[in-house]
């Protein structure tokens, strides 16, 4: 069983410099998928998180819940950030869940993030948000 508290602390204190520490927690051939990426391998996963720091300002994860056993875990999180394209602006929040599986050595070998791109991202984009909110109103019961 991995040290889940240590892994959660790693996510919550992630910085551009600490991205290099993924090897402490992830297997060399780990799989990662989120709504925009699907990659295999430690280097590719590190590139995704490094890229995050260039795309948004002040990113940070807060894990609010977790469920775990020896084979895997589900982490409920909030991701706080500022959109660089919109200037400093107000802090945004995105809510999601990570499904993790561990290998025999206790390292993450599978990481799948689930979050609603429409609600958590697209509806916050100025012009696109109006269109998305109108579509949601038209489709809701």
Question: Is 81 inside any structural domain?
Answer: yes
CA distance 44 to 29: 10
Count of domains in the chain? Answer: 1
Please report, for the domain that includes residue 62, its CATH number. 3.10.450.50
Q: Does residue 32 belong to any structural domain of this protein?
A: yes
Instruction: With respect to residue 124, please indicate whether it lies within any of the assigned structural domains.
Output: no
Q: Which long-range contacts (CB under 8 A, 24 or more apart) does 39-47 make?
A: 45/111, 46/19, 46/20, 46/22
Q: Which domain holds residue 89?
A: 4-115
Asked whether residue 130 is domain-assigned, the answer is no
- What lies within 8 Å, CB to CB, of 69 at 6+ separation is none
**How far apart are alpha carbons 103 and 107 in whole angstroms?**
6
Flag whether 129 is in a domain. no
Does 125 fall in a domain?
no
Q: What is the pLDDT along the chain (141 residues), one digit of tens a residue?
A: 679 999 999 999 999 999 999 999 999 999 999 999 999 999 999 999 999 999 888 999 999 999 999 899 999 999 999 886 655 578 889 999 999 999 999 999 999 999 886 665 555 566 665 665 666 677 667
Flag whether 16 is in a domain: yes
């Amino acid at each position: 069983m991995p040290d889940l508290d240590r892994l959660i602390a790693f996510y919550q204190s992630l910085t551009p410099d600490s991205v290099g520490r993924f090897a402490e927690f992830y297997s060399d051939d780990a799989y990662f998928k989120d709504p925009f990426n699907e990659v295999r391998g430690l280097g590719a996963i590190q590139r995704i998180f490094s890229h995050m720091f260039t795309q948004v300002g002040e990113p940070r994860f807060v894990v609010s819940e977790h469920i775990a056993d020896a084979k895997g875990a589900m982490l409920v999180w909030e991701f706080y950030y500022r959109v660089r394209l919109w200037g400093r602006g107000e802090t945004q929040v995105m809510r999601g869940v990570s499904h993790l599986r561990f290998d025999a050595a206790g390292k993450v070998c599978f990481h799948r993030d689930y979050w609603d791109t429409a609600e958590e991202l697209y509806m916050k984009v100025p012009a696109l948000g109006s269109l998305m909110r109108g579509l949601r109103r038209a489709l809701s019961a």
